[in-house]
Amino acid sequence: MSVLVALPVLLPLLAAALSLVAGRSPRVQRLLGVVVLSVIAVVAAVLLVHADQTGPVVLRLGGYGPPFGITLVADRLSSLLLLVSALVTLAVLIFSIGQRITDFGRRTASTAFHPMYLVLCAGVSLAYLTGDLFNLFVAFEIMLGASYVLITRRVTAERVRPSMTYVIVSLTSSLLFITMIALVYTATGTVNLAALPEKIAALPAGVQSSLALFIVIVFGIKAALVPLHFWLPDSYPTAPAPITAVFAALLTKVGVYALIRTQTLVFVHDDSWAVLLAVALVTMIVGALGAIAQNDLNRMLSFLLVSHIGYMLFGLALFTVIGLAGVILYVVHHITVQGALFLVSGLVTRHTGTVSLQAMSGVARAYPLVAVLFAIPAMSLAGIPPFSGFVAKIALLQAGAATGTPMAIAVTAGAVLTSLLTLYAVTKIWVGAFWGPPTEPSPDADPNDDVTVGTGSTSAAMLGATGGLVLISVLIAVFAGPLADMSERAAHDLLHDEGYRSAVLGEGNG
């Protein structure tokens, strides 16, 4: 069973190498990507069942034990996020194949997209599974290296500045990350996540608080917390829809995962953290207000992404089982919903030829299926019952009310207000893009797409991939009970880390 933990990292890297070799055969590249991501989804499901029933699955690479050896760990949280991420990356890959952004000119195969996409998936998997800070840094660098290539493919004059902003901010955060690792190692003598709690606890209180705050800043940049979010609304909307979708769905959530893992496992928080609660409140409100002010569809969705990172930070800052359970449920919901919304944005802009809400209208009348695919995740993001967003937000609101501190109550009220602002923002999209008389569709560059819908061209793969993500978001709501129970068990593991630490540090495990 422990061998399975390595597959989500090794398989996409091996497939990326094979994809480079098969650069002149687009069909082989596409098949490799789809098969590998499907296998990873199956492996993640197996790991999740095993971790939920018997505890964390541990693999010590090379047989070297901690704190010096490299350890991969699949517990409830990492396995659950790995499964959801694999399903999203698979759906986005199928969408991109249907949209054919993987080809230059749609006739000449691009050797870059598929290998880099698979490398990105390997980085995401490693971030979830690694058991030490240094390899978490390696995972982020793998993701960032691949994302640099993906976000700067076929760069136009309009894309140069935001792409450079993304690269510069990412490099800066990497420098801060490696500095943080050096400080932690200097203070404790280890970077193993399971070995760090005892070492950190022996440090003076001021040093502990400083390291905890430093880690929040490092991962806050990657998760796009306000005021560290400025790069995201400029960078993401410039990329093609599938690239934006996978970035929005996963890269920020990996930052959130790193915050959750380090702040619960490494540092001890007996009560809610007022500073983190304040940042959560500001992130929710500023992101929502920024979304309302936009006329660009993708920029509006990007600001909504920033806003809803605040919900995840809210539950984390409470440091209670119910709060962390709400965070886990919200992350699972948001990965699927945000990815689906950006894919729908790709469908809309493909038909209308614009991202301006003022310049588009009538999509619902011309393409009713696209309207349905937008309406479901949009209502879920706004927290309308009975969709998955409502279930996740109720869990967070209950956690805030149960904590009962003035700051927690204030953030709870801010979360309700943010839901109303989100509803206003998605209603603005609906009125601008979907109501009114249909606009003249943008002509498609390739008349040989698989299926035509209306007079604009949309492949069956694009619709199927988007519909698949929307269906997953619906299933999250349908199976909210079992998923909430699993999230609560994962949250209990985070606050009571004896099982994780004994599995990683104990003899004879893995």
Q: Give the pLDDT confidence score for residue 220 in this predicted structure.
A: 92
pTM above 0.85, yes or no: yes
Amino acid identity, position 217: I
Within-domain flag for 359: yes
Compute the distance between CA of residue 12 and CA of residue 122 in angstroms, rounded to an integer. 6
Q: What is the mean pLDDT of residues 82-91?
A: 95
Within-domain flag for 23: no
Within-domain flag for 319: yes
Domain of 291, in residue numbers: 270-478
The CA–CA distances, whole Å, from 503 to 72, 125, 291 equal 11, 20, 44
The three-state secondary structure class of 319 is coil
Split at pLDDT 50, 70, 90, the class of 458 is low
Q: What is the mean pLDDT of residues 374-379?
A: 93
Assess whether the previous peptide bond of 227 is cis (omega < 30° from 0). yes
Q: Look at the chain and count its residues.
A: 510
Q: What is the pLDDT of residues 219-244, one digit of tens each?
A: 999 998 988 888 888 887 777 888 88
H helix runs in 236-387, sequence order: 241-246, 252-261, 274-292, 297-318, 321-352, 363-366, 368-382
Within-domain flag for 468: yes
Within-domain flag for 69: no
Split at pLDDT 50, 70, 90, the class of 42 is very high
Within-domain flag for 297: yes
Within-domain flag for 233: no
R_g (Cα) of the chain, nearest Å: 22
The CA–CA distances, whole Å, from 277 to 42, 274, 284, 311, 491 equal 37, 5, 11, 10, 18
Q: Give the pLDDT confidence score for residue 108 in this predicted structure.
A: 43
What is the tally of structural domains in the chain? 1
Q: Give the pLDDT confidence score for residue 154 in this predicted structure.
A: 63
Within-domain flag for 402: yes
Assess whether the previous peptide bond of 386 is cis (omega < 30° from 0). yes
Cβ neighbours of residue 102 closer than 8 Å, sequence gap 6 or more: 26, 29, 30, 96, 109, 110, 113, 114
Instruction: Please give the DSSP secondary-structure letter assigned to residue 104.
Output: E
Token pair belonging to 460 = 């069956």
**C-beta of residue 366 within 8 angstroms of C-beta of residue 409:** no
Cβ neighbours of residue 340 closer than 8 Å, sequence gap 6 or more: 245, 373, 376, 377, 466, 469, 470, 473
What is the longest distance spanned by two Cα atoms in the chain? 68
Count other Cβ atoms within 10 Å, centred on residue 479: 12
Identify which of 494, 359, 496, 336 has the alpha carbon closest to the alpha carbon of residue 440. Answer: 359
Q: What is the mean pLDDT of residues 177-191?
A: 92
